[in-house]
Amino acid sequence: MKVAFGGYGEKLVTFEAAEGVLAGMPVMMSANGTVVPCAAGKAFCGAAVNVRNGFAAVQLAGYVRLPYTGTAPAVGYQTLVGDGAGKIKTDAAGRQLLVVDVDTSAAVCGVIL
Protein backbone atom coordinates (compact mmCIF):
# COMPACT_ATOMS: atom_id res chain seq x y z
CA MET A 1 0.00 0.00 0.00
CA LYS A 2 1.36 3.43 -0.90
CA VAL A 3 -0.40 5.40 1.84
CA ALA A 4 -0.59 4.93 5.61
CA PHE A 5 -3.57 5.49 7.88
CA GLY A 6 -1.95 4.59 11.23
CA GLY A 7 -2.41 7.26 13.88
CA TYR A 8 -5.46 8.84 12.25
CA GLY A 9 -7.91 9.98 14.94
CA GLU A 10 -6.86 7.36 17.48
CA LYS A 11 -8.71 7.53 20.79
CA LEU A 12 -7.97 4.97 23.48
CA VAL A 13 -9.73 4.34 26.78
CA THR A 14 -8.69 1.99 29.59
CA PHE A 15 -11.28 -0.62 30.60
CA GLU A 16 -11.24 -3.60 32.91
CA ALA A 17 -10.60 -6.65 30.74
CA ALA A 18 -12.61 -9.82 31.27
CA GLU A 19 -10.88 -13.14 30.78
CA GLY A 20 -10.12 -13.89 27.14
CA VAL A 21 -9.51 -10.31 25.97
CA LEU A 22 -6.33 -10.21 23.87
CA ALA A 23 -4.56 -7.41 22.05
CA GLY A 24 -5.73 -7.07 18.46
CA MET A 25 -9.26 -8.40 18.90
CA PRO A 26 -12.63 -6.64 18.66
CA VAL A 27 -14.28 -6.13 22.05
CA MET A 28 -17.71 -5.20 23.40
CA MET A 29 -18.98 -3.86 26.72
CA SER A 30 -20.19 -6.42 29.27
CA ALA A 31 -20.62 -4.37 32.45
CA ASN A 32 -19.73 -0.96 33.84
CA GLY A 33 -16.23 -0.19 32.59
CA THR A 34 -15.57 -3.78 31.47
CA VAL A 35 -14.95 -5.27 28.02
CA VAL A 36 -15.11 -8.86 26.80
CA PRO A 37 -14.20 -10.48 23.48
CA CYS A 38 -16.91 -9.54 20.99
CA ALA A 39 -19.55 -12.26 20.71
CA ALA A 40 -20.55 -13.69 17.34
CA GLY A 41 -22.94 -11.43 15.47
CA LYS A 42 -22.63 -8.53 17.93
CA ALA A 43 -21.42 -5.00 17.20
CA PHE A 44 -18.01 -4.24 18.66
CA CYS A 45 -17.16 -0.97 20.40
CA GLY A 46 -13.48 -1.02 19.48
CA ALA A 47 -10.30 -3.05 19.43
CA ALA A 48 -8.08 -4.05 22.34
CA VAL A 49 -4.68 -2.53 21.66
CA ASN A 50 -2.90 -3.67 24.81
CA VAL A 51 -3.93 -5.95 27.68
CA ARG A 52 -2.05 -6.07 30.98
CA ASN A 53 -2.81 -6.80 34.65
CA GLY A 54 -6.55 -7.15 34.08
CA PHE A 55 -6.93 -3.93 32.07
CA ALA A 56 -7.21 -3.24 28.34
CA ALA A 57 -6.41 -0.13 26.34
CA VAL A 58 -9.28 -0.10 23.85
CA GLN A 59 -9.19 1.96 20.67
CA LEU A 60 -12.63 3.49 20.14
CA ALA A 61 -11.84 5.74 17.16
CA GLY A 62 -9.36 6.01 14.32
CA TYR A 63 -7.68 3.52 12.03
CA VAL A 64 -7.22 -0.06 13.22
CA ARG A 65 -6.27 -3.29 11.44
CA LEU A 66 -8.41 -6.27 12.39
CA PRO A 67 -8.41 -9.90 11.26
CA TYR A 68 -11.54 -11.00 9.43
CA THR A 69 -13.22 -14.30 8.73
CA GLY A 70 -15.39 -15.38 5.82
CA THR A 71 -15.59 -13.30 2.67
CA ALA A 72 -13.22 -10.35 2.62
CA PRO A 73 -15.02 -7.09 3.37
CA ALA A 74 -15.15 -4.76 0.38
CA VAL A 75 -13.47 -1.37 0.55
CA GLY A 76 -15.97 1.34 1.52
CA TYR A 77 -18.68 1.45 4.16
CA GLN A 78 -19.47 -2.05 5.39
CA THR A 79 -21.58 -3.39 8.24
CA LEU A 80 -19.28 -5.38 10.52
CA VAL A 81 -19.67 -7.55 13.63
CA GLY A 82 -17.49 -9.76 15.80
CA ASP A 83 -17.26 -13.42 14.83
CA GLY A 84 -16.96 -14.73 18.41
CA ALA A 85 -13.38 -15.90 17.87
CA GLY A 86 -11.41 -12.63 17.93
CA LYS A 87 -12.08 -11.57 14.34
CA ILE A 88 -14.67 -9.51 12.46
CA LYS A 89 -17.00 -10.35 9.59
CA THR A 90 -19.62 -8.65 7.47
CA ASP A 91 -23.18 -8.96 8.79
CA ALA A 92 -26.27 -6.77 8.44
CA ALA A 93 -26.74 -6.75 12.25
CA GLY A 94 -23.50 -4.88 12.88
CA ARG A 95 -22.01 -1.43 12.88
CA GLN A 96 -21.36 0.47 9.66
CA LEU A 97 -17.65 1.31 9.41
CA LEU A 98 -15.30 2.50 6.68
CA VAL A 99 -13.01 -0.26 5.36
CA VAL A 100 -10.03 1.49 3.75
CA ASP A 101 -7.78 -1.47 2.89
CA VAL A 102 -8.01 -5.25 2.69
CA ASP A 103 -5.11 -7.73 2.71
CA THR A 104 -6.67 -11.00 1.53
CA SER A 105 -3.41 -12.96 1.87
CA ALA A 106 -3.23 -12.11 5.61
CA ALA A 107 -7.06 -11.97 6.12
CA VAL A 108 -6.74 -8.51 7.73
CA CYS A 109 -8.51 -5.26 6.90
CA GLY A 110 -7.99 -1.65 7.88
CA VAL A 111 -11.07 0.00 9.38
CA ILE A 112 -11.83 3.55 10.48
CA LEU A 113 -13.81 3.19 13.72
Per-residue pLDDT tens over the stretch 58-85: 999 999 999 999 999 999 999 999 999 9
Interval 83-94 mean pLDDT: 95
Full-model pTM: 0.92
Give Cα separations from 9 to 27, 37, 60, 63, 91 (angstroms): 19, 23, 10, 7, 25
pLDDT band at 2 (very low <50, low <70, confident <90, very high): confident
Q: Can you give the pLDDT at residue 74?
A: 96
SS3 33: coil
In single-letter form, the type of residue at position 106 comes to A
What percent of the chain clears pLDDT 90, i.e. is strictly above it? Answer: 91
